[in-house]
Amino acid sequence: DVKVTQSSRYLVKRTGEKVFLECVQDMDHENMFWYRQDPGLGLRLIYFSYDVKMKEKGDIPEGYSVSREKKERFSLILESASTNQTSMYLCASSFLTSSYNSPLHFGNGTRLTVT
């Protein structure tokens, strides 16, 4: 079974702090994604990566950056956390081949609260 592991289940940070969310997958997937989940809005894509050191902006990249130094690890960075970034963050991965219908495998999420 594919395993996508997010390093923290819950995080509480202060406004202005730099925040790192880590995600590791064990299936050698090329694609990795960071989503934000808010009630009534579904999932919104922040950033994705299709290869090491490659990244593409999603629908809501403002206030975020990402890093992918190794194939199995994809980090989401909040440069200066703000209260409107309080949310559930979900990491996902998938194979690159048959890209448009390759299912996503999700981690269990990190619930971030910014005070």
Partner 1 sequence: AQSVTQLDSHVSVSEGTPVLLRCNYSSSYSPSLFWYVQHPNKGLQLLLKYTSAATLVKGINGFEAEFKKSETSFHLTKPSAHMSDAAEYFCVVSPTTDSWGKLQFGAGTQVVVTP
Residues lying near partner 1 in the complex (CB under 8 A) are found at 4, 31, 33, 35, 40-45, 48, 56, 58, 90, 92, 94, 99-104, 106-109
24 vs 90, beta carbon nearer partner 1? 90
Query: Using an 8 Å Cβ cutoff, are 109 and 92 in contact?
Result: no
| Min dist. Cβ of residue 11 to partner 1 (A) | 15
Taking the complex as a whole, the smallest distance from the CB of residue 114 to partner 1 amounts, in Å, to 20
Q: 49 forms bridges with which residues in the sheet?
A: 32
Q: Which is nearer to partner 1, 75 or 94 (CB)?
A: 94
C-alpha 28/C-alpha 5 separation (Å) is 13
Nearest distance in Å: CB 80, partner 1: 26
Q: State the DSSP string of 15-71.
A: TT--EEEEEEESS--SEEEEEEEETTTEEEEEEEESSTT--EE-S--TTEEEEEEET
Q: State which residue, 15 or 101, has the beta carbon closest to partner 1.
A: 101
